Structure 1
Amino acid sequence: MRIKKYSFLLLALLAISFKSFSQDTTQYIVANRKNSLAQQNKPYVILISADGFRYDFAKRYNAQNLLRLGSEGISTPYMMPSYPSVTFPNHYAIVSGLYPSHSGLVNNTYYDRARKDKYLMSNKAKVADSSWYGGAPLWVRAEQQNMLSASFYWVASEAAIQGVRPTYYYIYNEKIDMHNRIAAVVNWLKLPPSQRPHLITFYLPQVDHAAHLNGPESPEAEKEVHFVDSAVNELQKVVKTTRLKNVNFVFVSDHGMTKVDNKNPIGIPAAIDTSKFVISGDGILVELYAKNKGDIQATYNELKKEAKDYDVYLKSNVPARLHYGTADDWHNHIGDILLIPRAPKVFNLWNNKKINPGWHGYDPTVVPDMRASFTAWGPAFKKHLVVTPFENVSVFNLISEILGLKHTDKIDGTNQLANKVLIKKASKKK
């Protein structure tokens, strides 16, 4: 069996989530937009994501500010990410209310049969191409309803989905320091009411980077947890200087992180004939896309015989809890055969390249370390409330309720979380 070398090089780029592939520090502003008079009276939401901030990191590493803010507002033992528990699908699930299989963004990299092409999070042109994304993120809903939005990074915020980008946005890079990122948010909130964004997304990659490279229980990961804790505290303190009375904060992560057996990875199974399948995925989920449907069953049967330390599924028999099988594949983006390693095992797709000790992507119902964080505070929220765990797609409903955004199309999130944590009629407060 031979796998083309270039495939490994592409997949190697996925080892660390949401890496910097651009150094464009320009703030982009879509001209000639204004909040309607009705929207000017709505609350504000700052949605913060700390990539890879595992559900227990705040307590494990004594993130004092996040613990305090959570105790004053809303907290939960954990938030359940969607499968696969990786960066791009889960960031998009949070803002679209759709499972990855339903939005079409099924992995950080995946193959589109109709295009005969791959989506790669490392390819800036594809990341900015709206045709790869189904559904509508919160900022699209807001802008369509004459409410301005802003993004200091978020998955898909650079793409004109349904022809719409946030009014204010940046192309992802890691050159802008935290002080200037926070200053940009405050400057947005100091704009006149007609120009002021009511939805702001804010992304922090530091914990994910450190935990991948050094492991989730490393001093480096602990250091970045404290950095994020400090940055969030500084952000909420500086926002207070705007004297706006109805600013709400929602702090989330996309997934958790676990230590893997990177010394004894699983090799690519001999049963895979690369002339018959397109291979996509990473060390936690390998997907095979058949060039000829007649080759699927025989290869599946051989893989089942060969499998050790991993499970093999046809798309038609993937466990229903993953929402990743035939019935859920709304965009035909899921592979015909899926190989899923059993934690702490990972596949070696890099031909003996060094494998990082920290990984995510496993089924979060089986591997608790995949669970994500959630904390919220502000005038829209009840005080001192701990809620039972929930799926991340319901964050979409929560923010929609706060901002009074309407939607009629099918989503996977529910209003159960919003009904528990919001003060009644919070979205109508002035």
Structure 2
Amino acid sequence: MVANETDSILTAPGHTRYQSIGPSEPEEETVKGKHKIAVAILITLASLLFGGVLVHGLTSGNEQAPIYNNGTHSFAPTVIFISLDGVVSHDLDLHFTPVLSEIAEQGVKADYMTPSFPPITFPSHWSLVTGLYPEAHGIVGNYFYDKNLNDSFYYKSPDQSWDSKWWGGEPIWITAVRQKKKSGVIMWPGCSTEFSGLRPTYSVAFNDHIKFDDKVDQVFDWIDLPLEDRPQFVGVYVQQVDQAGHAYGPYGNETFKQLHLADKSIGRLLDGLKERNLTDIVNVMVVSDHGMSETDKSRLIYYDDVLTEKELSLIWSIEASPTLGIRIHPSENEEEAVEILYEAFRRLHNSLDTPHFEVYKREDFPSRFQFRDNIRIPPLMVLPDAGWNFVTHKEFDPNLGGEYEPRGVHGYDNMSPESRAIFVAQGPDFPKKKTIVPFWNIELYSVMSRILHLKPSNNNNTLNGLLEVE
């Protein structure tokens, strides 16, 4: 199914011609039920009066938007979209998140949300807000090389990485501004980039020292603005759980502490909305970009045990960790060098009783990943099993003792249970006490567009803004 019910062809940086299609779902993600609910068409034609809030109209992009009132002020449809970086879907079952668990029980939840591949911070976050696979929007990693531009993207270099030449697609906050609606974004990857002269109405650039509670205060400041100045889309990025997960592992005490603190901050946000009589007016959606796997020195693959010095010398750079996304030295014939290295990794594969990895040329990367049709994707991809990592003896000497670091890693197969992301939501455009059939993260751009009465830009969604209830 093509986004916006058209047969559009998407073009993105390094992405020459891409037919918008849906993901090839494994059997466990096949549609389970026949009762589809449009999450943004839950308000009936009849006016509904509850708690002093008057709601009217259908929340459809082709209909007049509803107007809400909290007793003192009018509100247009509003979404607060929060990403907790690195939270695994099963984390919500570990009793560290009473607030998120309450949202899941009283509102909607998905058993999990499938991140796009690779399940890495920048690609996944850009897919969440554009509805595009990374091969289509062009942010194929946290760092990557573009042969056509002869330039490299590096996520920790904002002066360079915020250049719009890197960022394909249209994020929801620009869709809103383009259609004369306000948006506010806090630290979301890409929020400092300008698109054809447009930026979010309000934005806060990334600052690692700002706490989640400070971000909540900023959300309140925006929500308390007059109607004509108030953003209808608010995006909030939270990095602390992911940082702790890398340093201490996904099951480390510090990681769970950061998860609990994030949960408390969300509770504070919900309390503030309740005080303003906005619980049934403002939609709150909480997701993660991906999960995380625990690492261990017993799960290391030493590829220099088999590859020769001559073969290793063909490698110019490696991207997409923990995958070995291999680029060939510019002085070499790429096609020949890729073939040599492909055979070398096949030799490594065959030398191991249990290889714990697969090697693919870019054009042969399995179609279910939606990740091969972009010049920015390395020509050779060596994908390890979840929790396994490639190293050389120079990078980690097992004879020296010590633990392998980082203690937590993500970026594996996006359909691995450890890679799965969370999704919970509540508000007037979501049903109560329902479970959503698992879906891909590229669906949420159209869901939010429908709630906010926006005409979405071309994207890869397959559900047309509808999420299915189990």
After TM superposition, the score normalised by the length of structure 2 is: 0.76
Residue from 332, 338, 347 that aligns with 2:381: 338
Matched, 1:303 2:345: yes
Alpha-carbon shift at residue 257 of structure 1 (Å): 1.0
Asked if 2 retains the 8 angstrom alpha-carbon contact of 1:109 and 1:280, the reply is no
Query: What is the CA–CA distance in structure 2 between the aligned matches of 1:141 and 1:233, rounded to whole Å?
Result: 29
Pairs within 5 Å for 1:238-257: 238-244=272-278, 246-257=281-292
Alignment of 1:24-423 (within 5 A): 42-244=76-278, 246-262=281-297, 265-269=300-304, 270-271=307-308, 273=311, 276-290=314-328, 291=330, 292-293=333-334, 294-307=336-349, 308-325=355-372, 328-329=373-374, 332-348=375-391, 351-352=395-396, 354-365=404-415, 367-409=416-458, 411-415=459-463, 418-420=466-468
Partner secondary structure for residue 316 of structure 2: strand
Greater CA drift, 339-348 or 395-404: 339-348
Shift of 1:190: 1.0
Instruction: Give the SS at the match of 1:186.
Output: helix
Shift of 1:225: 1.5
Checking the alignment, whether the CA contact within 8 Å between 1:394 and 1:414 is kept in structure 2 is yes
Partner in structure 2 of residue 13 of structure 1: none
Q: CA deviation at 1:64?
A: 1.0
Residues of 2 paired with 1:105 and 1:252: CA distance?
19
SS in structure 2 at match of 1:347 = strand
Residues in 2 aligned to 1:420 and 1:404: alpha-carbon distance in whole angstroms: 20
Instruction: Report the alpha carbon displacement of residue 321 of structure 1 after superposing the two structures with TM.
Output: 0.8
* Separation (CA, whole Å) in 2 of partners of 1:116 and 1:408: 28
Larger mean CA deviation between 200-209 and 249-258 belongs to 200-209
Task: Identify if the C-alpha distance between structure 1 residues 49 and 334 changes in structure 2 by more than 3 Å, giving closer, same or farther.
Answer: same
Please give the alpha-carbon distance, in whole angstroms, between the structure 2 residues aligned to 1:46 and 1:121: 25
Check 1:145–1:262 CA distance in 2 against 1; reply closer, same or farther (3 A cut). Answer: farther
The 3-state SS of whatever aligns with 2:129 is: helix
CA contact (8 A) 2:437 2:468 kept: no
- Counterpart of 1:286 in structure 2: which amino acid? L
Q: Output the amino acid matched with 1:352.
A: F
Deviation at 1:408, TM superposition (A): 4.8
- For the 8 Å contact 2:212–2:238, the answer to whether it is kept is no
Q: Deviations over 1:103-149 (max 9, x none)?
A: 10011111111122221111112231111010000001001000110
Match of 1:56, SS state, is helix
Larger radius of gyration: 2
Alpha-carbon distance in structure 1 between the residues aligned to 2:246 and 2:103? 27
Name the structure 2 match of 1:19. none
TM-fit CA distance, 1:86: 0.9
Matched positions, count: 379
Which residue identity is paired with 1:191?
L
Question: Cα RMSD over matched residues?
Answer: 2.2
Q: CA deviation at 1:221?
A: 1.6
Structure 2 Cα separation of the partners of residues 195 and 67 of structure 1: 33
Percentage identity across paired residues of the two chains:
30
Contact map agreement 1:95 1:395 (CA 8 A) in 2 = yes
Q: Distance in 2 between matches of 1:98 and 1:372?
A: 17
Q: Is the 1:126–1:132 Cα contact (8 Å) retained in structure 2?
A: no
Aligned partner letter, 2:288: S
SS in 1 for 2:360: strand
Retained in 2: the 8 A contact 1:49–1:202? yes
